[in-house]
């Protein structure tokens, strides 16, 4: 695996982590736990919508980027993004109250259009552009918040969503211009065969992703129902820490996925997976230890007095954080070789456990109960994926220990940068 690419992707993910925490800190202090809860619910809705959109704009773009011409696959993605981005939020409004329906539509359409372009870069192994646009999503979002809040003087929670839509519009426009330079619009076409293949691959992998999302986010909805929106805001900060740590495994997963879908050597793909796995495992362990060493008082000082239990939330979530960091790597390996059934099974097991346990645990124990349910669910689903991977390869303890050569190589790369 290309160490230089890994390092650059890790650096970009670290920047995203810092920027994301800046947003979390700002939003909790600016709008409090109730405002943070509203943001979390809308973003959760947006994520659900993205699973429908990603049938065409997600991994299908990456998987088929070198198998078909851009002009043959990108039009499907754009049209699908617009249809899903409008229809699904409206459908949501009939089932439950969506306080920011128009913002949700704008976020859905623009984020899906941008995702099509970014995932096309992944499939073309243009990881540099993938890293750039993922960092800029956070950076421009923050820039627009500063402008809207302090220049335009709009201080409501709406400013968060308007800023995010603006960042998506800017980045979609620039990335489309880049892609258009290497495409011929006169060759744009729609064929039933290509559309069918995009849909077939897309819905299978998105079924797994949507189930995993439910596994990650169902606790939000159970907490809102049983304990109120403020508990969602408090719990979401702990979850934000989890997702920040997962940026390491997701960074490695993107590179691994791009390599595997463009490789015909199965042994090489497995070896690359194991290298990614041990890097993810060890760095995630380090981050968890750092978070647990931070005093509880510091969390309350940074995020506000409502968030004094953040360290406890992180502690309860830690086993699940580590297990997902490992399973992310293995999951992308199976996606890269088009073995999607195991991904659906492991996610379904996690969802079933979360639903059954949440009805009993969350009403009694509240936020700590939600943490325990999430962590056990993560461990169960990840354990199945881990077991399946080591059915087809040899288990070795050293898969989780960096060699002296790898440590020296990574250190030299860091010093060089």
Does the pLDDT of residue 97 top 60, yes or no? no
pLDDT of residue 301: 80
**Which carries the bigger pLDDT value, residue 189 or residue 369?**
369
- Band of the pLDDT at 411, cuts 50, 70, 90? low
**HSE, side-chain direction, 13 A CA sphere, residue 17:** 18
In the 3-class helix/strand/coil scheme, how is 154-212 assigned residue by residue? CCCCHHHHHHHHHHHHHHHHHHHHHHHCCCCHHHCCCCHHHHHHHHHHHHHHHHHHHHH
Does the pLDDT of residue 290 top 90, yes or no? no
> What average pLDDT does range 380-394 have in this prediction?
85
Residue 32: partners with Cβ closer than 8 Å, 6 or more residues away: 233, 304, 306
- Band of the pLDDT at 412, cuts 50, 70, 90? low
Does the pLDDT of residue 339 top 50, yes or no? yes
- Band of the pLDDT at 54, cuts 50, 70, 90? confident
pLDDT of residue 1: 46
Q: pLDDT by residue (tens digit) across 360-373?
A: 898 888 888 988 99
Q: pLDDT by residue (tens digit) across 124-170?
A: 878 888 888 888 988 999 999 999 988 888 888 888 899 999 999 99
Count of domains observed in the chain: 1
The whole-model pTM stands at: 0.68
To which residue do tokens 């617009």 refer? Answer: 82
pLDDT of residue 87: 92
pLDDT of residue 270: 80
Does the pLDDT of residue 218 top 50, yes or no? yes
- Band of the pLDDT at 281, cuts 50, 70, 90? confident
pLDDT of residue 127: 80
Q: What are phi and psi of 190, to 5 degrees?
A: -125, 120
CA distances from 177 to 17, 70, 133, 247, 314 (A): 28, 14, 14, 28, 42
- Coil, helix or strand at residue 279: helix
Q: What are phi and psi of 97, to 5 degrees?
A: -65, 125
- Coil, helix or strand at residue 69: coil
pLDDT of residue 144: 93
Residue 163: partners with Cβ closer than 8 Å, 6 or more residues away: 141, 142, 144, 145, 147, 148
Cα(first)–Cα(last) distance of the chain, in Å?
18
CA–CA separation, 366 and 349 (whole Å): 23
To which residue do tokens 């939000």 refer? Answer: 220
pLDDT of residue 402: 62
The residue range of the domain holding 315 is 3-416
CA–CA separation, 124 and 119 (whole Å): 9
pLDDT of residue 324: 86
> What average pLDDT does range 383-406 have in this prediction?
74
Alpha carbon 55 to chain centroid, angstroms: 16
CA–CA separation, 322 and 283 (whole Å): 10
């Amino acid at each position: 695996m290309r160490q230089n690419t890994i390092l650059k992707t890790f650096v970009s993910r670290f920047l995203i982590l810092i920027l994301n925490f800046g947003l979390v800190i700002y939003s909790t202090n600016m709008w409090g736990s109730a405002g943070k809860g509203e943001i979390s619910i809308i973003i959760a809705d947006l994520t659900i919508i993205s699973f429908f959109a990603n049938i065409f704009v997600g991994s299908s773009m990456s998987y088929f980027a070198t198998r078909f011409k851009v002009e043959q696959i990108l039009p499907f993605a754009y049209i699908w993004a617009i249809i899903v981005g409008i229809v699904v939020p409206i459908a949501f409004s009939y089932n439950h109250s969506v306080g920011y329906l128009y913002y949700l539509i704008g976020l859905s359409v623009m984020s899906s259009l941008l995702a099509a372009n970014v995932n096309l870069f992944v499939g073309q192994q243009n990881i540099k552009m993938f890293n750039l646009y993922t960092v800029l999503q956070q950076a421009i979002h923050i820039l627009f918040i500063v402008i809207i809040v302090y220049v335009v003087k709009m201080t409501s929670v709406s400013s968060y969503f308007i800023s995010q839509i603006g960042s998506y519009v800017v980045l979609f426009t620039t990335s489309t211009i880049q892609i258009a330079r290497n495409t011929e619009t006169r060759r744009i076409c729609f064929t039933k065969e290509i559309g069918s293949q995009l849909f077939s691959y897309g819905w299978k992998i998105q079924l797994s992703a949507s189930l995993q999302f439910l596994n990650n986010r169902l606790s939000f909805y159970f907490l809102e129902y049983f304990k109120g929106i403020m508990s969602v805001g408090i719990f979401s900060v702990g979850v934000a820490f989890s997702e920040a740590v997962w940026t390491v495994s997701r960074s490695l997963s993107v590179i691994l996925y791009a390599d595997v879908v463009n490789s015909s050597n199965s042994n090489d793909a497995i070896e690359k997976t194991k290298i990614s796995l041990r890097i993810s495992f060890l760095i995630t362990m380090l981050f968890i230890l750092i978070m647990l060493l931070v005093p509880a008082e510091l969390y309350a000082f940074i995020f506000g007095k409502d968030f004094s239990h953040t360290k406890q939330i992180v502690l309860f979530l830690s086993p699940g954080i580590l297990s997902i960091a490992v399973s992310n790597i293995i999951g992308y390996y199976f996606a890269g070789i088009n073995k999607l059934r195991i991904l659906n099974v492991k996610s379904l097991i996690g969802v079933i456990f979360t639903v059954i346990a949440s009805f009993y645990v969350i009403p009694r124990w509240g936020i700590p109960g939600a943490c325990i349910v999430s962590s056990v669910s993560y461990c169960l689903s990840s354990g199945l994926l881990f077991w399946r991977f080591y059915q087809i390869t040899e288990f070795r303890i050293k898969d989780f220990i960096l060699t002296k050569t790898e440590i020296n190589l990574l250190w030299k790369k860091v010093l060089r940068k």
